[in-house]
């Protein structure tokens, strides 16, 4: 008798699970996230990389030199617009390291956005308090938003063998407060890297 009761309970559990599978309205948000593949195990990775540097045009020794160094501790934000989902937007932030480099790991819900490099842009929102740099005046970048480039010219980001897609902003340049952008200095591009 006990065996029959246990067997009928097991059948009830199986039937109940089938009912849950057939009726998705009964799933909790956590269960739906796991079923969709966004649970504890991350299925894909999308990274936005780049660097933030400061430039100074130096006039000395009868020559013009463009000196460049990293800006550690700058805050960058990637802003993505999902046109397919009622113009919903999302922001993800990161900080530059001691070399001025940053890596922004985009959340999973943004991975499926088509043409991610067109839907997302990056902005430097804060420089360290002790920084003597400012945005370079440029009428094309009034809001100082930087576009994402697909690395190595491949579509939909450069995906490596581990399934990681990478987009790059390149070097984001700020101008030292005491420096003036002089056309001869920019044309010569005689760059001296302070860390070299």
Return the closest-CA partner of residue 136 out of 100, 101, 172. Answer: 172
The CATH number linked to 120 is 2.60.40
Question: What pLDDT is recorded for position 98?
Answer: 96
- Residue 34, in any domain of the structure: no
The number of domains in the chain is 1
Q: Which residues contact 52 (CB under 8 A, 6 or more apart)?
A: 70, 71, 74, 76, 96, 100, 102, 124, 171, 172, 174
- Residue 24, in any domain of the structure: no
Query: For residue range 18-49, what is the model confidence (pLDDT) as tens digits?
Result: 555 565 566 665 665 555 555 455 667 889 99
How confident is the prediction for the chain on average, in pLDDT? 70
Question: What pLDDT is recorded for position 186?
Answer: 53
Query: For residue range 101-139, what is the model confidence (pLDDT) as tens digits?
Result: 999 999 888 887 778 888 888 989 889 988 888 776 543
Q: What are phi and psi of 172, to 5 degrees?
A: -100, 120
Q: Domain limits at 151?
A: 45-185
């Amino acid at each position: 008798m006990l065996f029959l009761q246990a067997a009928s309970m097991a059948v009830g559990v199986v039937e109940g699970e089938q009912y849950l599978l057939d009726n998705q309205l009964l799933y909790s948000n956590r269960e739906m996230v796991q079923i969709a593949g966004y649970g504890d195990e991350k299925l894909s990775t999308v990274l936005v990389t780049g660097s933030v540097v400061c430039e100074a045009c130096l006039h000395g020794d009868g020559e013009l030199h463009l000196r460049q160094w990293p800006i550690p501790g700058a805050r960058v934000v990637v802003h993505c617009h999902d046109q397919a989902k009622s113009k919903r937007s999302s922001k993800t932030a990161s900080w530059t390291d001691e070399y001025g480099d940053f890596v922004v790991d985009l959340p999973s819900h943004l991975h499926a956005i088509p043409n991610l490099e067109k839907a997302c842009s990056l902005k430097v929102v804060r420089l360290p308090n002790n920084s003597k740099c400012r945005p370079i005046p440029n009428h094309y970048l009034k809001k100082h938003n930087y576009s994402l480039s697909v690395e190595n010219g491949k579509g939909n980001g450069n995906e490596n063998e581990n399934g990681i897609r990478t987009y790059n902003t390149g070097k984001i340049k700020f101008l030292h407060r005491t420096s003036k952008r002089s056309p001869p200095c920019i044309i010569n591009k005689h760059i001296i890297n302070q860390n070299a």
